[in-house]
Amino acid sequence: MAGWEIPLGAAIAFAAGAIGTAWAQSRIGSAGAGTIAERPETSGSIIVLEAIPETLVILGFVVASMIIIMVE
Amino acid sequence: MDLGYINARVRGMHSRLLGQKAFDALMIQQDIPSLVSELEKTPYRDEIQEASVLYPGLKGIETALRLNLVHTCQKILSLVEGSDAEPLVRIILARWDVHNIKTVMRGKHLHVSPEEIEECLIPAGSLGEPLLVELIKQPDVRGVVDLLATWEVPFARPLTQYLDEYASARELSVLEYALDRFHYENSLALLKAGKSDHEVMRTLLMQEIDSLNLKNAIRMNRDRVDPETAQKYFLPGGESITLEKFLIMVKANNIDEIVGTVEGTPYYFLASLIPEAMRTGTFSVLEKELDEHLTRKGTGVFRSDPLGGAVVIGYLWAKQNEIINIRIIARCKDARISDAELEKELRHV
């Protein structure tokens, strides 16, 4: 199997992770901005929270890579 | 604006409300100057410093608390502008308009000086301070209503309608009832069915109406008001207190009948207090319990839906309660009331 299915599968795995991350970061970002506006001392934790959804897109990237490398 | 952003800011503001420790620190102060110093360590610092320059003592604290409430309401309103939570906040702030219009009308009815009326106003609603100052300048109640009508303030409609009745009977309660009824009907009509935040607000408004009807019914029973007149002062739209129950309470010949009416309603906690209130003729304990019940419900919505507009409603209730409690502490300290009595007077929610 070396047709269009493999790159498409990899693209879906990566894109879904990226969309999920974008959505989560937008929500955390707006709430985080509100929190920092009222309590600037929380900025450190907010930056960490904002970065957590990045794991989703990294996971998507790993899955996409595995699909391309391992599926033959 | 995004509700996530608004809620996060409101939660940040909520976290700055005074906790038990801060209240304990305020309560152990011996007099007003030390209370002012203690308040300067809280988020009320700016307003306290501003007001203390103008007015010393208790008046300074009350002015600062009023300023703080007005600033908070204005900040909340600017935050929610254009969001789904805006109508909910406007409904809550409309209560201050009702309070201010009633205060000005009462002042004019009783020929109180403009300075004294101004001290009792809280310009946190849509009628700002300059408009309220213009209202106070009016010579009588008719002038106040006419000016409101000129500005096309919606509250002028019910007042204009009942102005002739007021002029003939010289009973201000006619206008006050018209104002309350319009406010609750208008607020309930603004809420949309099916929206969870709006349903929360509807329930709170209905409980507020119940609370007012209960207070009125018990007072009218004490004053032996005839049921036909009492019926005119019933506010429709409540949750548990129907017109039938209201009239039973007004007509009741003994305490058991009144207690029986609240049985099976969320106000059954009043059953143990009503006999004492009827015997002594003092309703402050009863009213305090009702207000506490309402405040508990209001502040409780803060924890209901973390992503909805109800968080803002809960915060506004909590803020108002905090200011009421600080005011109670200040007044008790000024009147040299004992700590035990002061503790009883506070609103615990």
B7-37, pLDDT tens digit by residue? 999 999 999 999 999 999 999 998 899 999 9
Is residue A1's pLDDT more than 70? no
pLDDT at residue number A56: 93
How big is chain B, counted in residues? 349
Is residue B275's pLDDT more than 90? no
pLDDT at residue number B276: 77
Enter the ipTM.
0.80
Interface test with A, best of B1, B3, B5, B13 (most A CBs within 10 A): B5
pLDDT at residue number A4: 86
pLDDT at residue number B319: 95
Q: pLDDT, tens digit, for every residue of B60-75?
A: 999 999 999 999 999 9
Is residue A18's pLDDT more than 90? yes
- pLDDT range class, residue B134, cuts 50, 70, 90: very high
Is residue B345's pLDDT more than 90? no
Whole-number mean pLDDT of chain B? 90
- pLDDT range class, residue B268, cuts 50, 70, 90: confident
Q: Is B306 on the interface with A (CB under 8 A)?
A: no
For residue A44, the SS3 value is helix
- Facing B6 at nearest CB: one of A32, A34, A39: A34
pLDDT at residue number A37: 93
Torsion angle of alpha carbons B301, B307, B308, B313, nearest 10°? 40
Query: Residue B13: its chain A contacts at CB < 8 A?
Result: 38
- pLDDT range class, residue B257, cuts 50, 70, 90: confident
Chain B stretch 3-32, residues whose beta carbon is closer than 8 A to a beta carbon of chain A: 4-9, 11-13, 15-16
pLDDT at residue number B289: 87
- Percentage, residues of chain B above pLDDT 70: 99
Interface test with B, best of A23, A26, A39, A42 (most B CBs within 10 A): A39
- Residues B123 and B129 sit within 8 Å (Cβ to Cβ): yes
pLDDT at residue number B33: 92
CB pairs under 8 A between A and B: 35
pLDDT at residue number A2: 61
| Closest residue in chain B to residue A24, using alpha carbons only | B4
| Closest residue in chain B to residue A33, using alpha carbons only | B5
- Facing A37 at nearest CB: one of B2, B7, B9: B9
Q: Is there a contact between B8 and A30 if contact means CB atoms under 8 Å apart?
A: yes
Q: pLDDT, tens digit, for every residue of B153-169?
A: 999 999 999 999 998 98
Neighbours of B252 (CB within 10 A): 18
Q: Is there a contact between A27 and B15 if contact means CB atoms under 8 Å apart?
A: no
Is residue B185's pLDDT more than 80? yes
Is residue A72's pLDDT more than 80? no
Amino acid identity at A50: E
Query: Residue B6: its chain A contacts at CB < 8 A?
Result: 34
